[in-house]
Amino acid sequence: MKVSFNTVNIDGLDVFYRAAGDPGAPAILLLHGFPTASHMFRDLIPELAASYRVVAPDLPGFGMTQQPDRSAFSYTFETITKVVERFTEALGLESFAIYVFDYGAPIGFRLALNHPERIRAIISQNGNAYLEGVSEAFAPIQAYWNAPTPANRDALRGFLTPRTTLLQYTHGVSDPSLVSPDGRNLDDFYLARPGNDEIQLDLLGDYKTNVALYGAFQAYLRKAQPPLLAIWGRNDPFFLPAGAEAFKRDLPDAEVRFVDSGHFALETHAREIGAAMREFLAARMR
């Protein structure tokens, strides 16, 4: 199994991505969340590449993808979705499954709204589309949505600190010694780049547009009935188990599973999640 590390220019923006598997095999698009990048999939990709073409981009403002200045690029979920949409077209991904996590969820669901015919299946790993899944940890962010003052914006800077990154990786993990420091240290490195703090605050503020689209996401699920596997770290302090169970309201055939981990469940359960994905996709991605 070989993983290649590539860059493709999307309308003037250099997008970094990891790829593995037979280019002719059914495709899976892996969409990361905050504050990480495609390196979060380093243990999952080998679990999938024998049977699937696996592609994992770094989103604009994250990882190795180019970070244009805020004066030249609008850091909103709508804009990032357009970049990912053009990215899939540049790579010739005409239909694919999506693995959505954290920020990757609203981006993946926006893709599905724009092109439902392209989405063959959805794997949601702590990727929310229901109010039931939103925890009290979002309260400071919601305060900024309701009153986007400089003080409320500054109050969110705590989300960008190494202490918070560590919490995201280790909260709810029974044995934190099993969580490699590599991923979170890379995340902190990228967060510390000049100007990245303001980019992240822009996105935290714009997340309210995703919540506003929850009704549209749910309508898509009811109409399109895509195969969906929700496999969540049950101890996530941000996206609660109720958010996974809620998928069954619109998708009665959805599969819902939990692993005994936190937000970054792949850090401790990549093998289990990979096996669940292979089992789930085997009859749906021939």
CA-based angle 47:286:101, to the nearest 5?
A: 45
Catalytic residue (one of 39, 171, 263, 269): 263
Q: Clarify whether 115 is annotated catalytic.
A: no
Coil, strand or helix at 62? coil
Domain encompassing residue 88: 3-282
Q: Is the pLDDT at 241 greater than 80, yes or no?
A: yes
Encoded amino acid at 250, one letter: D
- Model pLDDT, residue 93: 97
Residue-wise pLDDT for 41-85, tens only, equals 999 999 999 999 999 999 999 999 999 999 999 999 999 999 999
pLDDT in tens, 246-261: 999 999 999 999 999 9
- CA dist 173 and 234 (Å) reads 10
DSSP state of 260: S
Mean pLDDT over residues 175-201, rounded?
97
- CB 261, CB 145: distance < 8 Å: no
Quote the percentage of the chain above a pLDDT of 70. Answer: 100
| The predicted structure's pLDDT at residue 40 | 98
CATH number of the domain residue 98 falls in: 3.40.50.1820
- Does residue 6 contact residue 19 with C-beta atoms inside 8 Å? yes
Provide the greatest CA pair distance for the chain.
52
Q: How many structural domains comprise the chain?
A: 1
Q: What is the pLDDT, as a whole number, of residue 195?
A: 97
Mean of all residue pLDDT scores within the chain: 97
How many Å apart are CA 258 and CA 273, to the nearest integer?
10
pLDDT of residue 286: 73
How far are the Cα atoms of 98, 177, 193 from residue 101, in angstroms, in the given order? 10, 23, 23
Residue 120: partners with Cβ closer than 8 Å, 6 or more residues away: 26, 95, 96, 97, 226, 227, 284, 285
The CA distance from 196 to 224, in Å, is: 37
Confidence band for 284, pLDDT divided at 50, 70 and 90: confident
Model confidence at 1, pLDDT cuts 50, 70, 90, reads confident
pTM: 0.97
Q: What is the mean pLDDT of residues 103-116?
A: 98
Over the stretch 6-43, which tens digit does the pLDDT of each residue have? 999 999 999 999 999 999 999 999 999 999 999 999 99
* Cβ neighbours of residue 272 closer than 8 Å, sequence gap 6 or more: 259
Give the model's pLDDT for residue 283.
Answer: 87
Q: What is the number of other CB atoms lying within 10 angstroms of the CB of residue 36?
A: 28
Phi, psi angle pair for 133, to nearest 5°? -85, -5
The contacts of residue 126 (CB under 8 Å, 6+ apart) are 33, 101, 102, 232, 233, 236, 238, 239, 263, 265
pLDDT in tens, 218-240: 999 999 999 999 999 999 999 99
Helix orientation angle between 181-191 and 162-170, rounded to the nearest 10 degrees: 150
pLDDT band at 285 (very low <50, low <70, confident <90, very high): confident
